[in-house]
Structure 1
Amino acid sequence: MGDFNTKIGSNKDHVACGNFGLGETKERGEMILDWMENNNLIAMDTCFRHRLKEKVTWVSPDGRYMNMIDFIIIRRIERVEVRDCRSLVSADCDSDHHMKSPATKPWIANECWRLIQKRKKERKRTQMEKATEQQLRGQRRP
């Protein structure tokens, strides 16, 4: 966990960044993108298309400047577990930063899906074994 306060934008040169960032990549942004890439991490905020107000994580006190400088960073392998990631504009947290919220798939749903896939494979294997046995029986009869 950290507070990097940097702009990474939608940098297509790095796999650690999605296509839906906000603004341009700054020097510190390049540094954090390189670090994320070396550690197989990804900024989930940049992976989902949202309206501007749902991308913005910081607003200046006068409201003139808006930036996306806070990110939810996870391991790249766990990217499939996240369904959505956005700023919560209506959350009142007494700060000039907006709260971030990732929507993840429920763990139980993933376990159920794996169990269903395992059962499908077992059924398919059983059906193939039955078909093979029937073929062998058919060859023995004549």
Structure 2
Amino acid sequence: MVEDVGPGGIGAVNEYKTEWFQINVSTITNTWYQNHPRRQWTWKSPGDRNRNKIDYILTQKRFRKAVKTSKSLPGADCDSDHIPVMCKFKIKLKKLRKAKAKPNFKWTY
């Protein structure tokens, strides 16, 4: 298994997907967290026979440590067979410094 896919995935990931992740320097956030099984699947078949994880949140590898949790929300009322996927992350904003105003003096001698 590649480093882009975490241990929390369901089933196998095909080679095409892992190759695409490596080329685009991304990682799958939903696979890095061990959640309850109902918080892992993102799609259910008509009749609720099968449940699979087919919806993902991708992020660049450099932001992987900023992601705090990623899970699906099965109780959301969205009238779809897909379940919304949520990701919490911590961002640290850079403090902007105000530019010092230059004095607008005209010296005449």
Structure-2 residue corresponding to 1:81: 66
Inter-partner Cα distance in structure 1 for 2:53 and 2:74: 13
User: Are 1:104 and 2:92 counterparts?
Assistant: no
AA aligned to 2:49 is R
Per the alignment, in what secondary structure is the counterpart of residue 74 of structure 1? strand
Q: CA deviation at 1:30?
A: 1.8
Secondary structure, aligned partner of 1:107: coil
Which of 3, 8, 19 is residue 15 of structure 1 equivalent to? 3
For structure 2, the residue ranges without an aligned partner over 5 or more in a row are 96-109
Return the offset for 1:105. Answer: 1.0
Matches within 5 A, 1:1-80: 12=1, 14-25=2-13, 29-80=14-65
The C-alpha deviation readout for 1:95-134, integer Å capped at 9, x for no partner, is 10000000111435xx59xxxxxxxxxxxxxxxxxxxxxx
Question: Does 1:91 pair with 2:76?
Answer: yes
Q: Figure out how many residues of one structure are paired with residues of the other and give that number.
A: 95
Deviation at 1:84, TM superposition (A): 0.2
The one-letter code matched in structure 2 to 1:38 is I
Runs of 4 or more, structure 1, over 4 Å off, are none
Structure with bigger gyration radius: 1
Q: Percentage identity across aligned positions?
A: 29
How far the C-alpha of 1:24 sits from its partner, in A, is 2.2
- Secondary structure at the aligned position of 2:87 is classed as strand
Q: CA deviation at 1:68?
A: 0.3
SS at match of 2:19: helix
Structure 1 unaligned regions, length at least 5: 1-11, 113-142
CA distance in 1, matches of 2:10, 2:48: 17
Question: What is the rounded CA distance, in whole Å, between the counterparts of 1:33 and 1:70 in structure 2?
Answer: 15
The TM-score with structure 2 as length reference comes to: 0.80
Corresponding residue of 1:131: none
